[in-house]
Structure 1
Amino acid sequence: MKSQFLFATAYGAAAWASSGADEATQFTLTYGYPLVPFAHFSIPVLEGVSATNRFLHMKELATSSFKSVVRPNVDTLYSSAVLDMSLHDVVVDVPIVNDRYWVFPFYDAYGNNYANLGSVTNNKAGKYIVRYDADKKPGVHICGKKSSLLKCDKGVQGFINAPTPYGIIVVRYAVTDAAGDLQKIHALQKQTKMHTIMKSTTYSIATAPPLTMAMLNSSLSSDPATKIMQLTARIAPHNPPREISDLGRVDLMLKRAGIHQGGTYEQPRGVNLTAAYLASEAAMFNAPTKPGNNQVLSNGWSEISAAAQGDYGKNYEMRAYVAYFGYLALTAAQALYPSHSTGGHGPSTPHLGPKQAYVFTFPSKPPLEQYGFWSLTAYNAAQYLVPNALDRYALSDRSNITYADGSLVYGGRTSAGKDGSFELLVQPADVAPPRNWTSNWLPAPKGGGDLSLTLRFYAPSEQVHNGSWIYPVVRKIDAIVA
């Protein structure tokens, strides 16, 4: 009896340890998932400028050949940089911008949009110092405010406290339809600079080594689950969670999952990594349906709740979900990304037969704040822009879309005071509609199939936020042909 009791006790302890490791592995796969798109984004930027803390300026709008990130917008030009504050602080120069939407969004290593400078927040041009100090509250801290005790040198507008030493900045300048506008943005990009200075803090806990290309792409497994664990082992020990209060729990879970401080991953005995990956993926895809993560709008539309978009706190499943579907999303104050479901139970995957189409019926022009704009963009099943003969990847308030009578919705002589219903047509690129639909036609993948349609609002008004503006009716119809 004694030997049987000891055997049962030992078996129970082993089962508990295995169960703990399984749970920790699933947690770590969810927690570390954003590090895969972080690496995928960072590598071409580092290749383009040969170092961290340098801007890579995009000179042309994204096309179907653009593969640096999934679901890119074609409304803005990007200026991107990989931030590394392990040894230095970073000074970012913000130019004077007074004629368009613009934003300098700062992301930590996990894709949290923890700070923004721009037209929505009415920030001034000048120098801003970005620094890593886990003891200080992350975000923008403006010099001279009564609530701020910052000691700022002349010319410094404020400090941006980062929650992790590694990160990303992707400056966005809205492109108008005015002639020569790209050249105007190129001039702004020349003034958009950064350089490093001596660290202003002595924070030393979990000091990070300099970020290198080898950390992001050397000897990574082709197995997606193993790759997540490897990148987590290399990056997470030096980059704490967004909510520093969760550091102890996160460290314990990562340790149980086989993440070692030395930057290596060792799969715990008895853990089924594939099963844990599938469970993590299922939880990620289910995240928007959880209470508090989603807001229901009109006509089958919904959007991620403001608290679950852009800056995720401890909501690691939503963080992974957005990293999968739209890495580097902005906070809701900057942009909204509503999705449509024909079933009314959260987002669904649009699908067109070879001779089918979607019609979006807008009841009116979307109301926006100053310099705000909107667009509807089509992507293929791989989440990249759809190749088409028109080189048209989106329709927007800067497009030559028309009302049913042929008059322009935006930009025409009679459009300023006119605000009626208009329709947009999403139809396969190899099925051209009649000429009266050409201006309102957004080409979908040739031959039909799965696609992704993203409606974006930058600088959205409160009516768009709270759903009091009626969202478009979406109908699937037979393709419109001549």
Structure 2
Amino acid sequence: MRELATSAYHDVVRPNVDTLYSAAVIDLSHHDVLVDVPVIKDRFWVFPFYDVYANNYANIGSVTNSTAGTYILRYSADHGHKPGVQLGGEKEDGSRLKCDRRHIQGYINAPTPYGIIITRYAVKEGTPEDMAQLHALQNQTHLHTLKKHINQHTAPPLTISMLNSSLSSDPATKLMQLTARIAPHNPPRDTADLGRVTHMLNEAGIHPDGSYQPPRGVNLTAAYSASQKEISAAITQPQNHITLTHGWTSLSSTAQGDYGTNYAMRAFVAYSGYLALDASQALYPSYSASANKKNLNLGPQQAYIFTFGSKPPLDETGFWSLTAYDAEQYLVPNPLDRYALNDRGNITYANGSRVYGDASDSSRGDASFQLLVQPADVTPPRNWTANWLPAPKGGGDFYLTLRFYAPTETLRNGSWSYPVVQKGPAIVA
């Protein structure tokens, strides 16, 4: 993706407008893959590796102080290694391992032969010069297939025909058919859970031979309702969330990004933030005025004010944003084409000075500041314009996502005081 997402972008729910994405679908059934990582300075970046079930099993990037160079992505079951990052490309004599004349920085061991990479490069200023630098980084990021050292084909090649041919036009049936084709060749990482997973798939009509037949005598509407209740209940379980201050909550580290056998939380996150990063890379705290309602609501002349007691504490390359989404979880159309407020913009203190201004100007200290969320068709006074995040026109249900990239421990454990949220009349001139 060469440009940031806009309200016209509907490929995934809740896209961020903080990073440019580069995406690749991965097939390790017959080849390994060389991943060339360019030199990236002074900005957040991450190469997140996901298995076929959207588990973020490995990351290389600025948070982990990863080194530029070449990594070998391989199916872990072929080599007997645990999934994840395996740094070091040295031979027994101490010299660097080379592959196709490249020095190897390490290995990425994938738990499934199929998967995906969604690389994220942080946008700093969003100027033409900044975007040109990002495009150059994208152009220097390369993938190459590499013949396996062992003659073992663990799955059929992932082809366009496999993903598209002879599938139902009904979206739900199509999804089940596609799952049936993929599941037999991509077992769960926890092999001890294979029997339970296979049983559940069979109950759903997905069979080991790759076929799908809707289960007989099952009320699918009732089954769907039951699954939604289980998914909704999962987030309330103490092990799956962290209670923060002022009505905010966050997912626990075991319920975000990499889920193990916590399938209900994987489904929960997929619904509201597909392909989320794990908690070491980013936090996605949520606010709700009601324990039973995760979306927010505004009347035509109402607003939310978010009062930050101080700037969020982040690691060196970290940054934050607050993004609004409509009831369908897509970016909100608005006259400013503004989809988020963040530390790279022009948000101001009450006296009009910038919260994130010249680094050499320390006169402002770390004072409190406020952000305004109100409908896109209710324009606030000029002194609020820089801090206004437009919600859907006319009000109604919508969602907000607060993101912290490269978060510090004080953000993760809740010791930082999260913003106070107040709902009231819209602010007008």
Query: Does TM-score exceed 0.5, indicating one fold?
Result: yes
Change (3 A) 1:432 1:255: same
Moved more, 280-289 or 195-204: 195-204
CA distance, structure 2, for counterparts of residue 467 and residue 328 of structure 1:
24
How far did 1:342 drift?
Answer: 0.9
Change (3 A) 1:126 1:416: farther
Q: State yes or no: 1:380 paired with 2:326.
A: yes
1:425-446 Cα deviation digits (max 9, x unpaired): 0111111000000000001111
Q: State yes or no: 1:311 paired with 2:258.
A: yes
Q: Does the 8 Å CA contact 2:89/2:104 hold for their aligned counterparts?
A: no
Q: Does the 8 Å CA contact 1:302/1:338 hold for their aligned counterparts?
A: yes
Tell me the residue number matched to 2:195. Answer: 248
1:84-129 Cα deviation digits (max 9, x unpaired): 1111111110000121000000001111000000000001001111
Change (3 A) 1:139 1:323: same
Tell me the residue number matched to 1:60. Answer: 3
Tell me the residue number matched to 2:158. Answer: 211
Q: Does the 8 Å CA contact 2:323/2:340 hold for their aligned counterparts?
A: yes
**Structure with more of its chain in helix, by fraction:** 1
Q: State yes or no: 1:389 paired with 2:335.
A: yes
Q: How does 1:269-308 map to 2 (within 5 A)?
A: 269-308=216-255
How far did 1:143 drift?
Answer: 1.2
Tell me the residue number matched to 1:16. Answer: none
How far did 1:250 drift?
Answer: 1.3
CA distance, structure 1, for counterparts of residue 95 and residue 397 of structure 2:
52
Tell me the residue number matched to 1:468. Answer: 415
CA distance, structure 2, for counterparts of residue 310 and residue 132 of structure 1:
19
Instruction: For 2:208, give the aligned amino acid.
Output: Q
CA distance, structure 1, for counterparts of residue 46 and residue 210 of structure 2:
34
Change (3 A) 1:234 1:158: same
CA distance, structure 1, for counterparts of residue 32 and residue 197 of structure 2:
26
Instruction: For 1:212, give the aligned amino acid.
Output: T
Moved more, 424-433 or 64-73: 64-73
Change (3 A) 1:219 1:442: farther
In terms of Rg, which structure is larger? Answer: 1
Tell me the residue number matched to 1:161. Answer: 109
Tell me the residue number matched to 1:433. Answer: 380
Tell me the residue number matched to 1:152. Answer: 97
How far did 1:141 drift?
Answer: 0.3
TM-score w.r.t. the length of structure 2 is 0.93
The SS at the match of 2:226 is helix
Q: Does the 8 Å CA contact 1:362/1:421 hold for their aligned counterparts?
A: yes
The SS at the match of 2:139 is helix
CA distance, structure 2, for counterparts of residue 419 and residue 145 of structure 1:
46
Q: State yes or no: 1:92 paired with 2:40.
A: no
CA distance, structure 2, for counterparts of residue 416 and residue 221 of structure 1:
63
Tell me the residue number matched to 2:134. Answer: 185
Moved more, 449-458 or 175-184: 175-184
How far did 1:341 drift?
Answer: 1.5
Instruction: For 2:64, give the aligned amino acid.
Output: T
How far did 1:194 drift?
Answer: 0.4
Tell me the residue number matched to 1:5. Answer: none
Moved more, 412-421 or 123-132: 412-421
CA distance, structure 2, for counterparts of residue 389 and residue 251 of structure 1:
50
Q: Does the 8 Å CA contact 1:408/1:415 hold for their aligned counterparts?
A: no
Tell me the residue number matched to 2:84. Answer: 139
Instruction: For 2:187, give the aligned amino acid.
Output: P
How far did 1:264 drift?
Answer: 1.4
Instruction: For 1:177, give the aligned amino acid.
Output: E
Q: How does 1:66-145 map to 2 (within 5 A)?
A: 66-134=9-77, 135-143=80-88
Aligned Cα root-mean-square deviation (Å): 2.0
Q: Does the 8 Å CA contact 1:357/1:477 hold for their aligned counterparts?
A: yes
Change (3 A) 1:278 1:225: farther
The SS at the match of 1:374 is strand
Q: Does the 8 Å CA contact 2:89/2:103 hold for their aligned counterparts?
A: no
Q: Does the 8 Å CA contact 2:90/2:97 hold for their aligned counterparts?
A: no
Unaligned stretches of 5+ residues in structure 2: none
The SS at the match of 2:235 is helix
How far did 1:252 drift?
Answer: 2.9
Q: Does the 8 Å CA contact 1:287/1:317 hold for their aligned counterparts?
A: yes
TM-score w.r.t. the length of structure 1 is 0.83
Instruction: For 2:325, give the aligned amino acid.
Output: Y
Q: Does the 8 Å CA contact 2:90/2:96 hold for their aligned counterparts?
A: no
Tell me the residue number matched to 2:296. Answer: 350
CA distance, structure 1, for counterparts of residue 167 and residue 56 of structure 2:
27
Aligned length in residues = 420
CA distance, structure 1, for counterparts of residue 55 and residue 183 of structure 2:
14
Instruction: For 1:169, give the aligned amino acid.
Output: I
